[in-house]
């Protein structure tokens, strides 16, 4: 019979169950983290080791980059417009309206461009990756790859990791331009800024590090989106419901990791 | 002096595999000779598919030995496993065709990816192989989603034999097909195996299929091979488990887990 160190009453039993529940959650977290790290390491190895599949990488680049352009562009233009309005409201309280253009461009390039593009791509591309690979898992297509002497990591995971890491910076670069354009449209059309002055304020105070840090973030976010899409799809089980869970987990985990990585990268770039 | 017996294409010794507390394989011993067609029969959930996946390396047995052409597969390096697996073709129960590829690209996949054949040459081989399984050029550009169940099985069979493997695995080749299409697939399996001179390992619980495609039958029950013999001897096995299974009796030593309503 189980001896309860906190007494044999109902409170003791509840306490043991509570502590056991925490223990189970911690163990599950550690196991999942280890499995994810191993999956990421395996994926990175196969990104570098031949054979490489340029055609598959190209297809994924098209899917992640070109076909995400409309949604990322729309997000960027509206974000730039809203940012210009909100910054104008705040800056006008201490007569600093001329800072609108500078704050919009820095806000977009350093933070909002990469984060919002990352989140949108996680929803559009990460979910699609998890659903596609998850379906391949439950219909034995991944097993079929193995029987055809094809490593699933090389064929499915590596092209997506490479494409995600390369294409999100390209998307974010375009999003930066569109976001600044959104701010420009509101600044000149709604807030009565002079177009030339707005652009001068935009570029005079913009530094290379503002853009570069955003692009580095984008590369990391692209890797995270692809990794979580592939990982969750690869480990899906239990038919259609399992694929649904993998899709949801892929979007949620990629979104949380993007926000956490955003903070870490920001600290690294701007630590004094 | 007798010539030494040829070494088996596949040899399993004391293979164990469990999932948590559920023991699925509890010491399987099995040999598949070159050119032989062996069918493993057994009820649903007795571990037939697990056994195939262990041989292919899709699952790792907890202990035991699995040899293909004398090469130990348990614990083998991934690159070496890929080299050995090139000798094997596999027909999956649900066909497992790649949704994103056309029919001919599915059939040619192993030729292009594993054997480095050009796409043009592989397409020609795919057309020939599809013709062998009774499919014309009109299906070559279709996606698997546009095919019926029987056509999917034929395409999957064409994919399994396109690389001219030395060993072919058939996982429930007739499941989900009507009796006529099932018999067509059985005929194709027999003719393809005979043409290639390959060793075939099939798993099924369809006794009509087993009788048609097997040279030898083995029964898996309780995680072990409980009976093995020529297909002609299956009706006189004197094994109550085999008798119950091949006749499909509800009463007998095999107790199915049936929950009363």
Q: Kindly give the confidence (pLDDT) of every residue in chain A, 272 residues in length, as a single tens digit, with 9 standing for 90 and above.
A: 455 555 567 888 889 999 999 999 999 999 999 999 999 999 999 999 888 889 999 999 999 999 999 999 999 999 999 999 999 999 888 888 888 999 999 999 999 999 999 999 999 999 999 999 999 999 999 999 999 988 899 999 999 999 999 999 999 999 999 999 999 999 999 888 999 999 999 999 899 999 999 999 999 999 999 999 999 999 998 888 999 999 999 999 999 999 999 999 999 887 65
Q: Is A50 on the interface with B (CB under 8 A)?
A: no
Same domain, A127 and A200: yes
Mutation for testing the A interface, residue in B57, B80, B93, B109 having most A CBs under 10 Å: B109
Element (H, E) at A143: helix A141-147
User: How confident is the model at residue B16, as a pLDDT?
Assistant: 94
Do both A120 and A195 map to the same domain? yes
Give percent of chain B with pLDDT exceeding 70.
95
Instruction: Say what the pLDDT of residue B78 is.
Output: 81
Residues A76 and A45 in one domain: no
Same domain as A62, residue A44: no
Q: Are residues A103 and A170 in the same domain?
A: yes
CA-CA distance, B27 to B39, in Å (whole number)? Answer: 18
pLDDT (0 to 100) of residue B75: 85
Residue of A nearest to B107 (CA): A148
How high is the pLDDT of residue A5?
Answer: 56
Residues A75 and A135 in one domain: yes
pLDDT at site B220: 92
Considering the domain architecture, whether residues A224 and A238 belong to the same structural domain is answered as yes
Q: Structural domain of residue A9, as residue ranges?
A: 1-49
Label residue B64 by pLDDT band (50, 70, 90).
Answer: very high
Same domain as A146, residue A228 = yes
User: CB–CB of B94 and A148 under 8 A?
Assistant: no
Mean pLDDT for the stretch of residues B20-47: 90
ipTM over 0.90: no
Question: Is A237 part of the contact surface with chain B (CB cutoff 8 Å)?
Answer: no
Q: Residues A232, A122: one domain?
A: yes
- CATH code linked to domain B1-87+166-248: 3.40.50.300
Res. B38 pLDDT band, cuts 50 70 90: very high
The pLDDT of B112-118, averaged and rounded, is: 88
Q: Which residue do the tokens 């949380």 mark? A: A256
Asked if A30 and A82 sit in the same domain, the reply is no
Q: Count chain A–chain B contacts defined by CB atoms under 8 A.
A: 52
Binary contact (A141, B98; C-beta < 8 A): yes
Split into its structural domains, chain A has a count of 2
Task: Answer whether A146 sits within 8 Å of B53, measured CB to CB.
Answer: no
Alpha-carbon torsion B123, B126, B131, B135, what sign?
negative
Q: Which residue of B has its CA nearest to A138?
A: B96
Q: How far apart are the first and last CA of chain A?
A: 58
Using CA coordinates, name the residue in chain B closest to A148: B110
**pLDDT score recorded for residue A238:** 82
Residue B92 above 50 pLDDT?
A: yes
- What is the per-residue pLDDT for A1? 47
Q: How far is A151 from chain B (nearest CA, A)?
A: 8
pLDDT of residue A135: 94
Please give the pLDDT value at position A111.
92
Chain B residues lying within 8 Å of A151, measured CB to CB: 78, 82
Domain endpoint, select from A9, A32, A49? A49
User: Which pLDDT score is estimated for B2?
Assistant: 57
Q: Is A155 on the interface with B (CB under 8 A)?
A: yes
Burial of B190 (0-12, 13-18, 19+ CB in 10 A): middle
Given A143, A148, A150, which is nearest B58 (Cβ)? A143
Distance from CA of B163 to the nearest CA of A (A): 9
Average pLDDT over residues B40-57: 89
What is d(CA A103, CA A105) in angstroms, rounded to the nearest whole number? Answer: 6
Query: Kindly report the CA angle at A244 between A161 and A64, in degrees rounded to 5?
Result: 30
Q: How confident is the model at residue B206 (pLDDT cuts 50, 70, 90)?
A: confident
CB nearest A140 (choices: B88, B92, B110): B92
Same domain, A205 and A100: yes
CA A20 and chain centroid, separation = 33
Q: Is the pLDDT of residue B126 over 60?
A: yes
Q: Are residues A84 and A25 in the same domain?
A: no
């Amino acid at each position: 019979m189980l001896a309860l160190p906190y007494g044999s009453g109902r409170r003791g039993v509840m306490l043991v169950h509570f502590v056991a529940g925490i223990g189970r959650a911690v163990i599950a977290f550690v196991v999942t983290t280890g499995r994810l790290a191993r999956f990421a390491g395996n994926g990175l190895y196969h990104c570098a080791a031949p054979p490489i599949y340029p055609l598959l990488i190209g297809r994924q680049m098209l899917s992640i980059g070109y076909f995400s352009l409309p949604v990322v562009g729309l997000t960027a233009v509206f974000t730039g417009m809203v940012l210009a309005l909100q910054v104008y409201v705040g800056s006008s309280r201490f007569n600093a309206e001329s800072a609108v253009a500078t704050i919009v461009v820095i806000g977009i390039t350093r933070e909002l461009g990469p984060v919002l593009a990352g989140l949108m791509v996680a929803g559009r591309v990460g979910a699609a990756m998890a659903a596609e690979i998850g379906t391949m898992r439950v219909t034995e297509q991944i097993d079929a790859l193995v029987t055809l002497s094809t490593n699933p990591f090389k064929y499915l995971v590596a092209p997506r990791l490479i494409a995600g890491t390369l294409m999100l910076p390209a998307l974010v670069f375009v999003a930066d331009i569109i976001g600044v354009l959104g701010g420009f449209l509101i600044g000149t059309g709604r807030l009565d800024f002079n177009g030339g002055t707005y652009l001068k304020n935009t570029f005079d105070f913009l530094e290379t590090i503002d853009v570069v840090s955003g692009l580095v973030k984008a590369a990391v976010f692209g890797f995270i989106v692809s990794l979580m899409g592939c990982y969750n799809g690869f480990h899906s089980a239990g038919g259609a419901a399992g694929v649904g869970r993998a899709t949801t987990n892929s979007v949620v985990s990629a979104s949380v990791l993007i926000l956490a990585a955003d903070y870490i990268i920001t600290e690294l770039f701007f630590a004094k | 002096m007798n010539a030494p017996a040829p070494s088996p294409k596949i040899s399993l010794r004391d293979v164990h595999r469990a999932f948590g507390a559920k023991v699925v394989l509890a010491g399987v011993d099995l040999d598949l000779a070159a050119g032989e067609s062996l069918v493993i029969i057994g009820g649903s959930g007795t571990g037939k598919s697990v056994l195939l996946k262990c041989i292919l390396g899709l699952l790792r047995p907890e202990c035991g030995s699995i040899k293909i052409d004398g090469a130990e597969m348990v614990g083998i390096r991934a690159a070496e496993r890929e080299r050995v697996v090139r000798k094997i073709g596999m027909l999956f129960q649900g066909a497992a065709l790649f949704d994103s590829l056309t029919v001919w690209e599915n059939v040619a996949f192993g030729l292009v990816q594993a054997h480095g054949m050009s796409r043009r040459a592989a397409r020609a081989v795919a057309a020939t192989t599809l013709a062998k399984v009774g499919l014309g050029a009109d299906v070559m550009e279709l996606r698997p989603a546009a095919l019926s169940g029987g056509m999917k099985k034929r395409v999957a069979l064409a994919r399994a034999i396109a690389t001219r493997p030395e060993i072919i695995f058939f996982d429930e080749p007739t499941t989900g097909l009507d009796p006529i299409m099932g018999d067509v697939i059985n005929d194709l399996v027999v003719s393809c195996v005979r043409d290639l001179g390959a060793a075939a390992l099939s798993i099924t619980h369809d006794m009509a299929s087993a009788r048609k495609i097997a040279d030898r039958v083995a029964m898996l029950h309780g995680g072990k091979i409980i009976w093995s013999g020529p297909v002609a001897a299956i009706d006189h096995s004197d094994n109550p488990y085999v008798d119950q299974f091949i006749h499909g009796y509800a009463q007998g030593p095999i107790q199915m887990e049936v929950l009363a309503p």
